[in-house]
Amino acid sequence: MKTTALTLWSATLLLWAMSSATALADGPEPIRIGINSQQYGPSRARVAVHIHEASVRAGEASDRGHSPGSTQAVVVTVRTRGAVSNLPPRFPPLSASSPILRDQQPGGPGSFWYRDAAGHVCPYVPNSVAPCFTLVGPGATPGAGRVSPSVVAQSLARRVELTPGEIKMSPTTVGLAGARSWFWLDPAPRRQSLSISLAGETVNVVAEPTVEWRFGDGAVLDGGPGVAYGADAGSSDAITHVYDTRCLPGDQGRNPYVLASCSQNGYAVLALVVWRITYSAAGPVAGSGALPGRTTETSASYPVSESRAFLVSGGGR
């Protein structure tokens, strides 16, 4: 009914006018005003305005009856005698061939599409409330389908922050050929997890790291993130390596005994952190499985020197 729609719009306009008047009466201080409306049924809707005052002038808080940074809300409920025919549908139609459905992030970073229990397609947008749609046209299956845990998990996995840390060494500046050098990652990569609940379905994604160490002289070691060098030098979690050949800046091209992998700044030490990602789901659809893994890496240059022994003539008896 046009009269009902006009009444709803008039209520919204009235609240906006009230909020504007409040801003003018209170002076030039910053005031944030938010207006929203919600249809609760064919004959009932709610319109609200939220007024948030960021600050007030000194000495005026008691006169206004509220403190700095306060929020006031004015709510108007609109009722009609019959159903409102010209309000937009709760689940607007969307063509099944719409290009937006092919966008894996319809609402920007961290967003994705999912289906609710009634078969509507909905965009998940972090920190926002987005509408769901009814698919129409060829390829649409209205009223069918549920949340797909694997699809949600794949989108969720892209939001898990995976960092490899920074390579630390001991000795810290120059290693010594023939002696053990220690390596570790700081901060150490740890097990990461992220969960989300949609349409009664809870999906949890877990990323477990393993580390592949490449020491620059051809040696490779599969292990963990290592531990810092200290009194527990015999720790089974330690990552150590013994270099057989020196590699100092300037050696390449001048010293025929260095390895071809010796770079201008020393050995290139690389830590590849391989993340094994799995998911589990609970709710209307239960399930679990593996997702494509991810790899992060970090590197550092590590010069290695050597200690030489020389025979010298002595002045013995």
Q: Tell me which residue of 271, 167, 169, 301 sits closest to 211, measured CA to CA.
A: 271
Residue 245 contacts residue 302 (beta carbons within 8 Å): no
Confidence at residue 249, expressed as pLDDT on a 0 to 100 scale: 92
**pLDDT at 63 > cutoff 80:** no
3-state secondary structure of 153: helix
Dihedral sign, Cα of residue 181, residue 185, residue 188, residue 194: negative
**pLDDT at 246 > cutoff 80:** yes
Confidence at residue 11, expressed as pLDDT on a 0 to 100 scale: 47
Q: How far apart are CA 258 and CA 217, in angstroms?
A: 10
pLDDT classification of 14: cutoffs 50, 70, 90: very low
Q: How far apart are CA 189 and CA 122, in angstroms?
A: 34
262-288 mean pLDDT: 92
Confidence at residue 143, expressed as pLDDT on a 0 to 100 scale: 45
What is the CB neighbour count within 10 angstroms for residue 299?
15
Q: What is the DSSP string of 260-284?
A: TT-BTTBEEEEEEEEEEEEEEEESS
Domain boundaries, the chain: 2-79, 93-145, 166-305
Kindly report, residue by residue over 28-54, the tens digit of the pLDDT. Answer: 445 666 656 665 566 666 666 666 665
User: Of 289 and 124, which is predicted with more confidence?
Assistant: 289
Residue 99 contacts residue 74 (beta carbons within 8 Å): no
pLDDT classification of 144: cutoffs 50, 70, 90: very low
User: Of 23 and 281, which is predicted with more confidence?
Assistant: 281
Q: Tell me the sheet residues that pair with 290.
A: 278
**pLDDT at 208 > cutoff 50:** yes
Confidence at residue 164, expressed as pLDDT on a 0 to 100 scale: 94
User: pTM of the predicted model, to two decimals?
Assistant: 0.57
C-alpha of 112 from chain center: 13
Confidence at residue 293, expressed as pLDDT on a 0 to 100 scale: 94
Kindly report, residue by residue over 226-245, the tens digit of the pLDDT. Answer: 999 886 666 788 999 999 99
Confidence at residue 78, expressed as pLDDT on a 0 to 100 scale: 57
User: Of 18 and 105, which is predicted with more confidence?
Assistant: 105
Kindly report, residue by residue over 106-142, the tens digit of the pLDDT. Answer: 888 777 777 776 778 888 887 777 788 888 888 665 4
**pLDDT at 219 > cutoff 60:** yes
User: Of 13 and 71, which is predicted with more confidence?
Assistant: 71
Which tokens hold the place of 185? Answer: 């990652």
